[in-house]
Amino acid sequence: MGSYVPSTPAERQEMLKAIGLSDYRELYRDVPESMYLDHPLDVPAGMSELEVSRAVSAMAAKNKVFSTILRGAGAYDHYIPSIVKYIPAKEEFLTAYTPYQAEMSQGILQSIFEYQTMICELTGMDVSNASVYDGATAAAEAAAMCRDRKRKVTLVSAAAHPDVINTIRTYCYGAGEELRIVPAKDGKTDLDALKEMLTPDVASFYVQQPNFNGLFEDAEALGEAVHAAGAMYVMGCNPIALAIMKTPRDCGADVAVGEGQPLGMPIGYGGPYLGFMVTTTKHMRKLPGRIVGETVDSKGERAYVLSLQAREQHIRREKASSNICSNEALCALTAGLYMATMGPQGMADAARQSMAKAHYLADALCAIPGIALKYPGEYFDEFVVEMPKADEALKALEEAGILGGLPVEGGVLWCATEKASREALDRAAAIVKEVCAG
């Protein structure tokens, strides 16, 4: 049996005696006899560290690690610099709690303040929170913060990530409010349909940029329509694209959110990731989640604290705008560290290379007879193609250690990042060509 209890059996007996007891059962005297477990749990016996290491490693070995990943759809395989993997593993960062005691937590508080600043810089927005659980919950929380007494309906583009749409739907269901899906045309949000759907009861509209199909939306035009109808405009942005793409601020967004995973977090079978969430000064006090602010201490020195807590559940209880009481602090630290490590040039380079590689891959695939882009629009690092024998081709790629695109309705959604070398892309295209020719 493994154990992390330091006290020896003899010490435990002495401690029991010191509190006037002789047996552990007496500690649980309030537990009714009828429910006190009289048999061991149906869980295997405990293990030594070496045994457990073997057992869990064996599970990891049953997964297939691909040497090239050409699949995105919400989880992006970008290069993670070595130092970005190392620093968040430091035990102090790793094992501390939420920084309630500022006098013992300046390191965490400052890392979040720095993260907030970098997310504001990346998005062009004014105020960032300390992060939320992931991109989907960030979008759902954004929809909630846009509702008021008169405007309650949430509009979401059909071209957003299905998990994001479904998460917003869930939060709306909880609140008892309505969600309406704005249809897509040619893989992008249908602007005319949006205009018709912007009734006076609409609180906000959510669009993803670039969208689930990889396409750039006409974000400014969408924003103008939303504002003309008096609703709030929420954009979900890819943070790597933002290094070179027009900011949500410049597109008129009131709230910007996004999946922060590409900022130094491994794809990790879906998590942990982080959701970033930023707004304008005007809406600052509606922003949910933890926020770190600068102040001074009793000696007049600069210091950081959790701030604007009057919005939060531990003060407002059922009147709070959200129940969230944590963030993804270590992921926020990682994201800040990633952005500082890459720097503005490095981030732009990763974005340009991802975009270039995706276009190279698209050209190579579309040179194969029978394969063509499904949508006419411009795209970033993902694109959908219509292709014959898709299942067969993906299987052949898998056998060659390449994770190909994701089968989606009417095609395959491919992604390339700066990690994919030209050679790997050529190889992938050659395998697909061989299957299609066969």
Partner 1 sequence: MKLIFEKSVPGRGMSLLPPCDVDLVAMPAGLERETMPQLPEMSETDISRHYTELNQHVHGVNCGFYPLGSCTMKYNPRIDEEMAALPGFTQIHPLAPADATEGCREVLDTAKRYLCEVSGMDDMTFQPAAGAHGEFTGVLLIKQYHDARGDKKRTKIIVPDSAHGTNPATAAMCGFEVVNIASAPNGCVDLEALKAALGDDTAGLMLTNPNTVGIFDENILEITRLVHEAGGLCYYDGANLNAVMGVVRPGDMGFDCIHMNLHKTFATPHGGGGPGAGAVGCKAFLAEYLPKSALMDGPGRLQVRGFAGNFLVVVKALTYIMTLGREGIPEAARNAVLNANYLMRKIQGTFEPAFDRICMHEFVLDLSGFKKETGVSALDVAKSLIDYGMHPPTMYFPLIVHEALMLEPTETESRETLDWAAEVFRQLYELAHKDPEFMHNAPHNAQIGRPDEVRAARNPVLRWQKS
Report 219-258 residues binding partner 1 (CB under 8 A): 220, 242-247, 250
Taking the complex as a whole, the smallest distance from the CB of residue 158 to partner 1 amounts, in Å, to 13
> If binding is defined by CB under 8 A, does position 122 make contact with partner 1?
yes
Q: Which is nearer to partner 1, 232 or 251 (CB)?
A: 251
Q: Does 156 bind partner 1 (CB under 8 A)?
A: no
Nearest to 338 by CA among 417, 419, 239, 258: 239
**Buried-state track 278-300, b at ≥16 Cβ within 10 A, e below 16:** bbeeebeebbbbbbbeeeeeeee
Coil, strand or helix at 310: helix
Choose between 117 and 196: whose C-beta lies nearer to partner 1.
Answer: 117
Question: Does an H or E element contain 68, and which?
Answer: strand 68-69
Indicate which single residue of 165, 184, 234, 277 sits in contact with partner 1 (rule: CB under 8 A): 165
Give the C-alpha separation, 423 to 68, whole Å. 11
Among 68, 154, 157, 167, binds partner 1 (CB under 8 A): 167
268 binds partner 1 (CB under 8 A): yes
366 binds partner 1 (CB under 8 A): no
Amino acid in position 158: A
Which residue lies nearer to partner 1 by CB, 137 or 204?
A: 137
C-alpha 130/C-alpha 117 separation (Å) is: 10
Contact criterion met (CB below 8 Å) for 361 and 355 = no
User: Tokens representing 387?
Assistant: 């292709």
Q: Report the residue number, 131 or 213, with the smaller CB distance to partner 1.
A: 131
- Phi then psi for residue 79, to 5 deg, are -70, 130
- Distance, in Å, from the CA atom of 120 to the CA atom of 143, rounded to the nearest integer, reads 20
User: Is residue 154 a contact residue for partner 1 (CB under 8 A)?
Assistant: no
Stretch that binds partner 1, among 113-121, 152-160, 183-191, 367-375 (CB under 8 A): 113-121
- Find the binding residues for partner 1 in span 281-340 (CB under 8 A): 284, 290-299, 301, 303-305, 307-310, 312-320, 322-331, 333, 336-337, 339-340
In the numeric block, the tokens 């705008």 are attached to 321
Tokens 């007891």 found at = 21
**Binding-site string for partner 1 from residue 32 to residue 71, where x marks contact by CB under 8 A and - marks none:** x-xxxx--xxxxxxxx-x--xx-xxx-xxxxxxxx--x-x
Peptide bond into 262 cis (omega under 30): no
* Cα–Cα separations (whole angstroms), residue 315 to 319, 322, 334: 9, 12, 29
For partner 1, which stretch binds (CB under 8 A), given 112-120, 180-188, 223-231, 429-437?
112-120
Candidates 102-110, 149-157, 222-230, 367-375; binding stretch for partner 1 (CB under 8 A): 102-110
Site membership for partner 1, residue 342 (CB under 8 A) = yes
Binding segment (CB under 8 A) for partner 1, from list 89-97, 191-199, 228-236, 368-376: 89-97
**Binding of partner 1 by 199 (CB under 8 A):** no
